[in-house]
């Protein structure tokens, strides 16, 4: 089996690649397991050294629009014989709101170019599209229900959410026409992400844990009672892989599957950090309001009823303390009381 991951040098892309390499085998759409022979990572930058050193990894660097335009020579060569494409590459929420053209090019034009390249293959590859809970947005004119479920109408309230919903519809229609096997997966906000802050409006939901653990002050731009729907990196990757493995009957409708979410608040996240790392660490969080960030993230749903995901065997994280503990252990730190 040959696999492509766009955004393959990013945080989730590299985590997905490492998990697939560790498994070594994968079932595609309900079929018998096959050996993973190669994984091609497509991104603007090269992958980390550990992945680059694996003989099963191939790296392609460049702009997705240029690589996947239907008439270029690169697309057929890159995608030939690849059974699964995990489409992870995207401009994130804050970037899209600040630069409309960047968002449209990265999230809409590149997605359609990729789908057109898949169509030209005539092999119906499986495309797992990483969408987002940002397709749901609260507004005075059309309020979200208290709990979002699989039948809730998407009502995005920012450019990123709109672009992700457009991507979902493109994947669904290319699947309906038989050009691909489509798997739209709505990711929750992922925390804790390692590394540096990115341009996502929700970046602080990792930064308020990651930075204090590194002895650096961090800002939380929303009140303590603000609620969120979160998922750990491990649960998120689990959901992406399960989407590729599910048979057509298991997957069901072409509409997107909401991944399971842990519902928590900014205050509860800080309290969990204090329990596991100490008061002096938690006190490195500055509670400084930012109206622009709050306007984006508080419109997203905080409670998800992910019935379709549960039917696929997927479950949310138990609590946020578990997520922090796993992150600390990945850094070689020992959580207090554990």
- Give me the phi and psi of 210, to 5 degrees please: -65, -50
CA distance 164 to 186: 9
- Exactly one of 160, 174, 204, 228 is catalytic; name it: 160
Strands (DSSP E) found in the chain: 2-6, 25-27, 33-35, 38-43, 57-61, 84-87, 126-132, 148-149, 181-187, 189-190, 218-220, 227-231, 257-258, 262-265, 285-287, 304-305
SS3 2: strand
Q: What is the largest CA-CA distance in the chain?
A: 59
Active site residue 160: yes
Closest CA to 65 of 98, 93, 91, 92: 91
Query: Contact, 270 vs 282, CB < 8 A?
Result: yes
Whether the link from the prior residue into 189 is cis, omega within 30° of 0, is no
CA distance 203 to 163: 19
Query: Contact, 103 vs 95, CB < 8 A?
Result: yes
SS3 92: coil
Closest CA to 227 of 186, 257, 273, 265: 265
Give the Cβ contact number of residue 45 at 10 Å.
Answer: 11
Q: Which helix (H) or strand (E) holds 196?
A: none
Q: Which residues are catalytic?
A: 160
């Amino acid at each position: 089996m040959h696999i492509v991951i766009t955004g393959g040098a990013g945080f989730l892309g590299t985590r997905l690649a490492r998990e697939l390499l560790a498994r070594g085998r994968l079932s595609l759409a309900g079929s018998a397991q096959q050996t993973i022979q190669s994984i091609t990572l497509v991104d603007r930058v090269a992958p980390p050294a550990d992945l680059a050193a694996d003989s099963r990894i191939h790296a392609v660097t460049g702009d997705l629009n240029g690589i996947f335009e239907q008439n270029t020579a690169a697309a057929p060569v890159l995608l030939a014989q690849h059974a699964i494409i995990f489409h992870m590459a995207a401009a994130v929420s804050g970037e899209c709101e600040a630069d409309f053209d960047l968002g449209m090019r990265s999230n809409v034009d590149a997605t359609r170019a990729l789908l057109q390249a898949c169509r030209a293959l005539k092999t119906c590859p499986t495309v797992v599209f990483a969408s987002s809970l940002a397709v749901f947005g609260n507004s005075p004119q059309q309020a979200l229900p208290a709990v979002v479920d699989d039948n809730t109408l998407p009502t995005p309230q920012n450019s990123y959410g709109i672009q992700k919903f457009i991507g979902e519809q493109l994947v669904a229609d290319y699947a309906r026409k038989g050009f691909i096997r489509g798997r739209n997966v709505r990711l929750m906000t992922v925390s804790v992400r390692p590394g540096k802050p990115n341009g996502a409006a929700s970046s602080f939901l990792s930064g308020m844990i990651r930075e204090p653990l590194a002895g650096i002050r961090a800002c939380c731009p929303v009140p303590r009672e603000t609620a969120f729907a979160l998922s750990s990196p491990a649960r998120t990757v689990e959901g992406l892989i399960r989407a590729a493995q599910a048979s057509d009957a298991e997957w069901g409708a072409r509409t997107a599957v909401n991944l399971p979410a842990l519902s928590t608040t900014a205050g509860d996240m800080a309290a969990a950090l204090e329990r596991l790392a100490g008061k002096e660490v938690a006190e490195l969080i500055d509670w400084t309001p930012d109206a622009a960030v709050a306007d984006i993230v508080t419109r997203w749903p905080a409670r998800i009823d992910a019935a379709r995901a549960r039917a696929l065997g997927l479950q949310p994280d138990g609590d946020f303390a578990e997520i922090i503990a796993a992150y600390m252990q990945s850094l070689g730190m020992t959580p207090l009381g554990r």
